Amino acid sequence: GAVVSQHPSRVICKSGTSVKIECRSLDFQATTMFWYRQFPKQSLMLMATSNEGSKATYEQGVEKDKFLINHASLTLSTLTVTSAHPEDSSFYICSVPGRQETQYFGPGTRLLVL
């Protein structure tokens, strides 16, 4: 199956700063990637679908100007949390769809905004 990496694994930042999270598909070309957010003791909630070479598709209630997604190549999608606030603190996970509906998840990025 596909190997998916994320960087950084954890990040602490001050309120008002921007944070970029990278999701890489190491051995599988990904025209589509998904970005999820998971608050403590909650489920994974899809934020957006990242499409290579075109605009991302955001889920209802997710601010596209706050969560900037760039999918510039078949192996890399980035999520930038702009002007981060404490309520953005969460576990962010990307996934790459594989063959036969399988999803390959990245290891996740723990974001803490002070």
Partner 1 sequence: GENVEQHPSTLSVQEGDSAVIKCTYSDSASNYFPWYKQELGKRPQLIIDIRSNVGEKKDQRIAVTLNKTAKHFSLHITETQPEDSAVYFCAASSGGYQKVTFGIGTKLQVIP
Contacting range for partner 1; rule: CB under 8 A; set: 15-23, 45-53, 65-73, 80-88: 45-53
Which residues, other chains included, contact 108 with Cβ-Cβ below 8 Å and sequence gap of 6+?
A: 6, 9, 38, 91, 92, 93
Residue from 15, 18, 83, 103 binding partner 1 (CB under 8 A):
103
Task: Please say whether the beta carbons of 79 and 68 come within 8 A.
Answer: yes
Q: Does 110 engage in binding with partner 1 (CB under 8 A)? A: yes
Provide the mask over 12-31, with x wherever binding to partner 1 is found by CB under 8 A and - wherever it is not.
-------------------x
Contacting range for partner 1; rule: CB under 8 A; set: 11-19, 64-72, 80-88, 89-97: 89-97
DSSP 64-101: TTTEEEEEEETTEEEEEE-S--GGG-EEEEEEEE-GGG
Q: Does 97 engage in binding with partner 1 (CB under 8 A)? A: yes
